[in-house]
Amino acid sequence: MMKLDAFDPLESIVVTADQMGKIESRLFEAGMPVAALMEKAALLMSRRIQELYPLCNLSRVGILVGPGHNGGDALVIARELHLQGYNVCLYRPFIQSKELTIQHLKYAQSLGIPYSQEIEFLENCELIIDGLFGFGLTRELSGNIAQAIEFINHLNIPIISVDLPSGLNTDTGEVLGIAIKATYTLCLGLWKPVFFQDKALEYLGNVERINFGIPPKDVWAIVAKPAPLQILTPTLARGFLPLPRPLVTHKYQQGHLLLICGSRRYAGGSILTGLGARSSGVGMLSIAVPESLKSLLVSHLPDALIIDCPETENGAIAELPPLAADFNNYDIIGCGPGLTQEVTSVVEKVLKANCPVILDADALNILAKLGTMDSLSQRKATTILTPHLGEFKRLFPNISDPGCDRIAAVRTAAQDTGAIILLKGARTAIATPNGSVWLISESTPALARGGSGDVLTGLIGGLLAQNIASGGKIETGVDVGGIVATAAWWHAQAGILAAKERTELGVDAFTLSQWLVKVGIVK
């Protein structure tokens, strides 16, 4: 779980380790003493730790002290907990440390706080504070430190990490040999990419940001506007919704979306995509399906125009009839869920459309076979791709494994193709061709169900169609990325709300589509 502060203007900003270092340097150059900043941040963390684990609930606290300023933060926390009556002990494996960290250690010794270079010294503790390494770590951990972290991870007690769990790469989330598995992580100052890398999530635990008052001017002096990495917060999401509807309007002024989806084998894909689109509030929804599915779609989506298409012997769309093939009648096209890979000619036709196009599921697999780069290079209108990890690898075999650094991978894919790329995951990332990446800060495993992605495709299409119909500047890239991210945020929130009421096992894709209208996202 990630806790966000809706009232903090810097809450949506995500910075790399290099950027964070430069921002801190600006503070120090402007006259902020390093010791004062350390004191401020560590006091805030100390208070939060006491709220999470009151003295009445535990006594003995072990502190892992690193050689840098992260270790200094840990020593200030140790001092404050000691003065509040906690039984504190220190594990300090490094003889050499930064001068400020050494000063805090001397004061801790003067207070009688015991310390040792042996990790077993902490085995009777009820809580561990991890202050070994901060956001600058890049080398792999080994030897005594790796053994100490393994020992700590097997204690089966709560662990709170300062800034990020020791052993994780700040930017990529890579485990540098071994890493602390935290119960809580108290991120200092600004969010970092590690908190949005899927592979790091099992190490982070519950995450909160400690705002120690970085002036926005110092952030914007280092980070470009708009920020290249941003969390899509609820406040930002509402800014990407369609404008309130005028009193006098009609359905075509509220967006016309064409969905091309479904087959006899995967009939449910067309239904779920349609339900996702309907929940967006789109004015007019047309769905092209194999002719044998028409009555089924009408029964589930009586408000949509169901276009029956000639089909193959296997029940896939053979070709698009004139009503569906005249793409000029639509604001946007969504294509892929449930199609099967028989429909290559249909996807090729869709790729030639002059309007924005969303490709998902089988349309992505067909695109990969056609050649992603060659096919998309011919597109002039906006293209949105919504792959999961496996589809991404098939689409972009020459891009570094997104499992290693999904943020870098999705950004590269968007810049190389000129498309908006939504990479699904526990922390979904949406990249635009100009290098901006939107990040979704929370989700739920309840969405790991067949059909959830189909619902998302329909929702994206419905939101974009309304934006286009109301005169939105969809071709700017930034706007369309924000709208796609808003759909992903809305989709995730619906899953979270449904899981709270029905449990994670009770959130099938149909249920998810019903919960979209309960998120309360409307302006």
pLDDT score for 214? 96
- Determine contact, residues 15/223, Cβ cutoff 8 Å: yes
136 pLDDT tier (thresholds 50, 70, 90): confident
pLDDT score for 473? 52
User: What gap in Å lies between CA 388 and CA 365, rounded to an integer?
Assistant: 11
Same domain, 380 and 409: yes
Average pLDDT for residues 463-469, to the nearest whole number? Answer: 89
Number of domains, the chain: 2
Task: Decide if 522 is inside a domain.
Answer: no
Same domain, 28 and 98: yes
Chain CA centroid to CA 111, Å: 44
Higher pLDDT, 159 or 248: 159
Average pLDDT for residues 85-100, to the nearest whole number? Answer: 94
Task: Decide if 230 is inside a domain.
Answer: no
Same domain, 395 and 461: yes
Angle (nearest 5°) at CA 493 between 492 and 494: 90
The annotation places the binding site at 69-73, 130, 134-140, 163, 166, 338, 388, 424-428, 453-454
SS3 content of the chain, % helix, strand, coil (to 5): 45, 15, 40
The annotation places the binding site for (6S)-NADPHX at 69-73, 134-140, 163, 338, 388, 454
pLDDT score for 400? 81
Same domain, 272 and 140: no
pLDDT score for 471? 62
> Residue 185: which H helix or E strand, with range?
strand 184-188
162: helix, strand or coil:
strand
pLDDT tens-digit readout, 483-504 = 999 999 999 999 999 999 998 8
Long-range contacts of 409-415 (CB under 8 A, 24+ apart): 410/437, 411/435, 411/437, 413/385
Same domain, 375 and 443: yes
Same domain, 68 and 48: yes
Mean pLDDT of the residues in the chain? 94
Task: Decide if 368 is inside a domain.
Answer: yes
pTM value is 0.94
Same domain, 184 and 240: no
474 pLDDT tier (thresholds 50, 70, 90): low
Instruction: Please provide residue 146's backbone torsions phi and psi, each rounded to the nearest 5 degrees.
Output: -60, -40
Higher pLDDT, 171 or 7: 171
Task: Say which residues have a Cβ less than 8 Å from residue 347's Cβ, sequence separation at least 6.
Answer: 335, 336, 339, 359, 363, 366, 367, 370
Helices and strands (DSSP H and E) totals, the chain: 19, 18
Residue with tokens 């030639």: 352
- Of 210-224, 240-254, 363-377, 410-424, the range with the lowest mean pLDDT is 240-254
Domain boundary among 174, 191, 225: 225
Task: Decide if 91 is inside a domain.
Answer: yes
Torsion sign over Cα 90, 95, 101, 106 = positive
Residues in the chain, overall count = 523
Task: Decide if 521 is inside a domain.
Answer: no
Tokens of 240: 């990407």
pLDDT tens-digit readout, 167-200 = 999 999 999 999 999 999 999 999 999 999 999 9
The annotation places the binding site for K(+) at 70, 130, 166
Same domain, 392 and 416: yes
Structural domain span for residue 159: 2-225
Same domain, 304 and 190: no
Is pLDDT of 278 > 80? yes
pLDDT score for 179? 98
Q: How far apart are the first and last CA of the chain?
A: 25
pLDDT score for 521? 65
**CATH number (domain holding residue 209):** 3.40.50.10260
Average pLDDT for residues 245-269, to the nearest whole number? Answer: 91
301 pLDDT tier (thresholds 50, 70, 90): very high
Same domain, 219 and 287: no
- Determine contact, residues 513/270, Cβ cutoff 8 Å: no
Same domain, 247 and 213: no
Domain boundary among 225, 256, 283: 225
**CATH number (domain holding residue 362):** 3.40.1190.20
Domain boundary among 193, 225, 257: 225
Is pLDDT of 476 > 50? no
Task: Decide if 242 is inside a domain.
Answer: yes
DSSP 343-386: -HHHHHHHHT-SS-EEE-THHHHHHHHH-HHHHHHT--S-EEE-
Query: What number of other Cβ atoms are within 10 A of residue 93's Cβ?
Result: 18
- Determine contact, residues 364/385, Cβ cutoff 8 Å: yes
Same domain, 249 and 206: no
Task: Decide if 520 is inside a domain.
Answer: no
Task: Decide if 82 is inside a domain.
Answer: yes
Average pLDDT for residues 401-408, to the nearest whole number? Answer: 89
